[in-house]
A and B are shown apart, each in its own frame.
Chain A
Amino acid sequence: MNPFPTPRSERPACLAASSRQGLGRLVAVAGGMKRRAGRIAAAPVEEVLEALGEGALLLDPGRGLARANDAAGRLLGWPGKPPRRGTGLAALLRRAARLDAAQRRRILACAAALQGAADAAECEAGGLILRFRRLASGQTLIVLAATAGDEQAPRDPLTGLANRRAFHTSLTAALARPGASPVLLLLDLDRFKHINDSLGHPVGDALLRLVAERLRGRLRAEDLLARIGGDEFAILLEHADGVAGLAERLVELLGRPYLVEGHLANIGVSIGIALAPTDAGDPETLLRRADLALYEAKAEGRRGFRFFRPDMDIRAQARRTLETDLRRAVALDQFTLHYQPQLDLASGRLVGFEALLRWAHPTRGMVSPGEFVPLAEEIGLIIPIGAWVLREACREALRWPEDITIAVNVSPLQFEDGPGLIRAVQGALAASGLPGCRLEIEITEGVLLHDRKETLETLHRLRAMGVHIAMDDFGTGYSSLSQLRSFPFDKIKIDRSFATQIEAEGGSGKALVRAITAIGASLGMTVTVEGVETDVQARFVDDSGGHQIQGYLVSRPIPPEFIRALLARHNPHPGGPPHAGGQPHTGELGKKSSLQDNLGSRA
């Protein structure tokens, strides 16, 4: 049975012909040498095996492996060094990552047939044709070739492991065996993408090879190991005995450091486990359930393993419901924007608003972005939602006095399609008639982590449209300061966690706010502190040289209909830029506190 019945091309015929030809050539050379020297000289045989261009194994009678060429290693997929001379056929096959237990048995049975009268035998296993031939010397030659339809080899060329397709075939076969209770483990590397991005693909590839070797080294011969995606591996065990212990050891082992191509790499692995037939009897459901368990393992902090549990299905169902609702919300226009003002400390005037997304769910009520934005990002809905936010915010801002700006948060995912984001911004500005200079795009540090070159290009193009760029949640990432060098931001917004620390006893909030403010100001950036809730905090920001505050002290986010009243209160003389000189702040800030009461903030 050919497990890969893809259309035939001309290639298989060529393969078969060259295989026969190669075999004859080798027999002739080996025989000739035997006559001349009385024994087989090492070098010429090796040359012939390599010249064969196909996989070849030469076995000494009763003494195991004599030679194997590189092609055999590639086809059978043994990780690391080739097996030692003298390794028996059964042991050779155990090391072949491409083969599962049933395939190994089939090949051994085929080899056993050769012990009898037959001089030649042939079998097919794991997408390979193996041709056995007993030579005059008493040695056995095995020529390996990929089967017809195997143009896309079912092994992963990088690690030599089975690939996704081969794994699926084996999984299907394992589940079909009567009384079988195989176990599926799905592994996903943590932080691999970061290594790949920062150290480059060659290092990432070498790291994947080390991971494959560590896994192979810890598994039994009858376990099937496959690389089924970029940094995803799958393991199929014949039974569930000791699977938790194995998963725990694998998590520990893969979490140990790696020295690779001159670099130190620290990664981890998360594992999801599903048992057949308890969790599922068919490959698709089993894979899906192991994947759900993997998702939970990742969600629960990575570097761990989880068994599938039925409630994971329930939670997944809840997620799917939310997804359906979210898609409907986009269609039914259930989103609204609330606006939180930003106050200029020097003038005491409101200078802008940040648009904040709210979802008025028909039965759940107001849903906060924290609950649905991650899902929207995961399923790609953030793109249309983000475009709507831009359009709506610009439309609203046009109704405000000309000196009031509007800030819009943009997700890292929107930046992944730079031209699309630029079109969305252009469209929003054009449709509303809002000048670009009144729009401020807020990005988080996450935006700059991936594909920096293209991201910076997008930022510069936005800047060329007059749009201001603000760095949001500043200080929460691990490379905040270096991000400031990468792009001339117009504004940095210090994360709210710093504001709450300003009044904390012995906290580092004060020193950090002062330091960040000084850096921002020296780079010519406007410094806004978010989450300011008290007069003390506001005064400290002012004394530290910070320019703007945003937070409950000024106002919580409000629906658009309250904006006019808020502006009338804070900016009694409409229009005109904020005053350059300082003002007595106590009065101003006192007024803000009463305003906060009026609006009933701190909900």
Chain B
Amino acid sequence: MTPELHRVIYCSRGDIARDPSRARGELQRILAISRKNNAAAGLSGALIFASGNFAQVLEGPRAALEARFERIQGDPRHRDIKVLEFTAVTAREFPDWSMAFAGDLTADQQDPLAFVVFAGAYAHRASGSSAAVLGLLHGLVQREDIWSFA
């Protein structure tokens, strides 16, 4: 067990390009940078972008995690950031991923499950939603075809 291992789960509303190909480019840049930085800082996690929303699980040593989260707060490409969970954990959920990605970039292909999860995360209290986001990400990350573009 890594000492001080923590996990944060948050969701936010994306302010990225509407055009799918530009959005794809922007997301690829976000992912490339976050994977490089995360690997260097010992962080792992998963990110989903669906129906205009981000949800991210980020895990690793507390100090590195807090510093990364603070960097993410400075990013103008999203807003309405809501932390669903921030807690000490005994093990990583995505140990093999510097940042796994599950995404859906076209508005007419909204993942119904993701839609429900985001609606819940913003409508209700954080508790419950964090487990839902985690479950969603686990499910989607396993569906290799969805994230393979990135």
Interface, chain A (partner B; CB < 8 A):
210, 213-214, 217-218, 252-253, 256-264
Contact = CB atoms under 8 A, between A and B. Distances in A.
B97 to A, nearest CB: 20
Contacts of B74: 214, 217-218, 253
Contacts of A210: 70
Interface in B36-88: 62, 65-66, 69-70, 73-74, 79, 81-83, 86, 88
B77 to A, nearest CB: 13
Given A259-B86, A262-B88, A214 B62 contact: no
16 contacts: A213-B70, A214-B70, A214-B73, A218-B74, A256-B81, A257-B10, A258-B70, A259-B8, A259-B65, A259-B70, A259-B86, A260-B66, A261-B66, A262-B88, A263-B86, A264-B86
A109 B71 CA distance: 35
Nearest to B8: A259
B6 interface: yes
B95 to A, nearest CB: 21
Contacts of A217: 74
Given A210-B70, A214-B73, A253-B73, A264 B62 contact: no
B83 A259 contact: yes
A257 B6 CA distance: 16
Given A256-B81, A257-B81, A257-B83, A262 B73 contact: no
A262 B86 CA distance: 8
Given A259-B65, A262-B62, 4 more contacts: A214-B70, A218-B74, A252-B79, A264-B86
Nearest to B76: A249
Contacts of A261: 66
Interface string B1-19: 0000010101000000000
Question: 10 tightest CB-CB pairs across the interface, nearest first?
Answer: A264-B86, A259-B66, A256-B73, A257-B83, A259-B69, A256-B81, A264-B83, A259-B86, A262-B62, A217-B74
B78 to A, nearest CB: 10
A260 B70 CA distance: 9
A261 B83 CA distance: 15
Contacts of B81: 256-257
Contacts of A214: 70, 73-74
A393 to B, nearest CB: 43
Contacts of B10: 257
B76 to A, nearest CB: 8
A212 to B, nearest CB: 12
Contacts of A262: 6, 62, 88
A259 B82 CA distance: 12
A262 B89 CA distance: 12
A226 to B, nearest CB: 21
A235 B10 CA distance: 31
Contacts of B79: 252
B4 to A, nearest CB: 8
Nearest to B68: A259
Contacts of A213: 70
